[in-house]
Structure 1
Amino acid sequence: PDFGLYILRSKDFYLAIRCGSIGQNGNGGHAHNDQLSLELVINGLNIITDPGTYLYTPIIKKRNEFRSVKAHFSPSLADLEPGNLSLNAFKLSDPKAEVIYFGSDGFIGKHYGYGFAVYRQITFSPSEIVINDFSDGFKLSFDAYQQPQFSPGYGIIYREKMNSYERWVLNNQKGSS
């Protein structure tokens, strides 16, 4: 938790959630716009994965594409980035992410990268993971939200878009997405 990675793990399940400092005394030299993103592995299947970094320095445009919120399963707002990628290749503005709750039944975190609080709530049960993204009194548009690359055939995945939040549900009932 001191560096902003929260992990729940069992023999069949691995969930990593990114929420915390951007590092390097607030400069974010190695940071990505991945606050509140997650990686999920169930029964050895990669359900949601982080893309890593394309190239470190030779092609800054490609580096920034992989640093972008669009490359991560994070709450996103239209074409905006929660941290300014144009500062330089080794600097990122701090979205001030913080964990509100983390326990065996779920997670709640928030960041201020868009100028107001954006929250992600994740709840777990033996048969379902529910992800709710919402804001603090603002109506958000998630039209540019990119669907994560889920592993095919794991279960039923559906997405609901309501006034100011978006909800993703993954359960282990075999079916199509």
Structure 2
Amino acid sequence: EAMLLSLYDHACFVLGHLEWSEGMRGNHYLACIAGLSVAAAYFPACRWTAQLRRWCAEQLRIEARYQFLPDGGNFEASIAYHRFSAEMLGWATWFLNRTPEGHNILGRDREFWLLLERITTFTEQTTYRSGVAPQIGDNDSGRFVSFLPLADDAESYGTWHADPHPYLSQRNHRETCALLRAVCRNEEHILDALFDDQTQHRQACFYAHTFGVAVLRNAEAEVFLRAGSIGQRGKGGHAHNDQLSITLALDGQEVIADPGTGIYLAQPAMRNRFRSTRMHSTLALDSVEQETWCEGGGEALFWLTSDRAHARIVAATERLIIAEHTAWHLPHRRVVRLEDGTLVIEDFFAAPSEATIWFHLHPHVRADRTGEGVRLEMPQAHAILTASGGATIMLEESLYSHSYGVWTPTRAIAIQPSGTRTQVTIRWQLRS
């Protein structure tokens, strides 16, 4: 009885403080709906409970369409926030669909279930084979609920994250994928499905034009390229200046990595550093960001004040991605080719003297300059990165944030182009 009364008090408080806005709303309001949906499924049947369940189901239908794009990606331009919101949508759907009121509303909405299937596909395809997801956009390590421990032991987890203190991985999303598949199948025993479902459906080529991400895969490598909207209907609160940036994983472990988010309000300068263009593996100008932001703290840290890049994926096949943006009026075009044991990145930009091409390395990668380029040593592979004739290659100090509020030193490769076309080639060999 005490538990029931406490849940009722919490539900009444949330109902009285809904984070809804006609102008722009996001995962905060979805969290209100998800929490109320779980509570409504638990409350005993009565007129008030039935009304709450119907309200939750109707709001869930509305917010699924508002916060998720036609390609299944979330509208906040962040992989981490996509998964956070997808978890809330999945759990709320599962609980409501087991009530007569919720099932009567959701069960008849065919478009809702088709969208949920696309959300599931997007989640699966934007995850490395290791289950870890690249950090496109903001990552505050938020999860709705997690039942599965994802670090087997301190040594293996510390090796992966370059951190001596193991904890449950906030970036491993096998459980999220299993949850969404189970909800789409209308599984009754949801926890059994989470523990038993280790299915991985990885496509050789996946792209989501509306969200703005393309993925290439072969037996050894996975390459992600980001090119799309800043999200939140132009607010850009969780987007980074990451247009045309790439990540590369070999044998499931990141080599070229998105450095992450760092922190929000506590350190505004660090917040802006992590979302800057030069902190992403793309071409950056010395003094101009892809998109601008207001200086200062508070709410300014969750706005981009321009949306001028108009980045887009031009083409995507099983071995090729072409993308471009026009943030600086001059177009920057990037062509990415994935072959067996080789990744080729070509950048075309008309003002090379003002540009630097960055590649940020995961902390587990050891980088050393050689006569022909940069030698990369990883636990699972070794590789050589080279650039086309005349380009200058340097190694710089950088930072990597594997989860919110934590960052560690790493290295970045900086390439100064010598012409309007620069080709970077990475050749690798996996260790036996």
Matches within 5 A, 1:141-160: 141=353, 144-149=356-361, 151=365, 152-153=376-377, 154-160=382-388
Match of 1:109 in 2: 323
Unaligned runs of 5+ in 1: none
Separation (CA, whole Å) in 1 of partners of 2:355 and 2:310: 24
Deviates more, 1:25-34 or 1:154-163: 154-163
Matches within 5 A, 1:20-59: 20-59=228-267
1:143 to 1:115, Cα distance in 2 relative to 1, 3 A: closer
Deviation at 1:147, TM superposition (A): 4.3
Deviation at 1:13, TM superposition (A): 2.0
Residue 313 of structure 2 is aligned to residue 99 of structure 1 = yes
SS state at 2:353 partner:
coil
Amino acid at match of 1:157: L
Residue 422 of structure 2 is aligned to residue 166 of structure 1 = yes
> Do the aligned partners of 2:229 and 2:310 also contact (CA within 8 Å) in 1?
yes
Residue 270 of structure 2 is aligned to residue 62 of structure 1 = yes
Separation (CA, whole Å) in 2 of partners of 1:22 and 1:128: 30
> Do the aligned partners of 2:290 and 2:327 also contact (CA within 8 Å) in 1?
yes
Match of 1:82 in 2: 290
Amino acid at match of 1:132: E
Deviation at 1:8, TM superposition (A): 2.3
> Do the aligned partners of 2:256 and 2:359 also contact (CA within 8 Å) in 1?
no
TM-score under structure 2 length normalisation: 0.38
> Do the aligned partners of 1:100 and 1:108 also contact (CA within 8 Å) in 2?
yes
Deviation at 1:165, TM superposition (A): 2.5
Instruction: List, as ranges, runs of 4+ consecutive aligned residues in structure 1 with deviation greater than 6 Å.
Output: none
Deviation at 1:124, TM superposition (A): 1.5
Deviation at 1:148, TM superposition (A): 2.8
- Greater relative contact order structure (CA < 8 Å, 6+ sep): 1
Unaligned runs of 5+ in 2: 1-207, 366-375, 392-417
Deviation at 1:156, TM superposition (A): 1.3
* Paired residue total: 172
1:166 to 1:127, Cα distance in 2 relative to 1, 3 A: same
Deviates more, 1:163-172 or 1:105-114: 163-172
Deviation at 1:90, TM superposition (A): 1.6
Decide which structure has the larger Cα Rg and report it: 2
Match of 1:16 in 2: 224
Structure with bigger helix share is 2
User: Percent of aligned positions with the same letter in both sequences?
Assistant: 30
> Do the aligned partners of 1:101 and 1:109 also contact (CA within 8 Å) in 2?
yes
Separation (CA, whole Å) in 1 of partners of 2:214 and 2:291: 21
Give the counterpart of 1:139 among 351, 364, 367: 351
Separation (CA, whole Å) in 2 of partners of 1:34 and 1:17: 9
Deviations 1:79-112, CA, capped at 9 Å, x for gaps: 3211113363122222110111111111110011
> Do the aligned partners of 2:247 and 2:258 also contact (CA within 8 Å) in 1?
yes
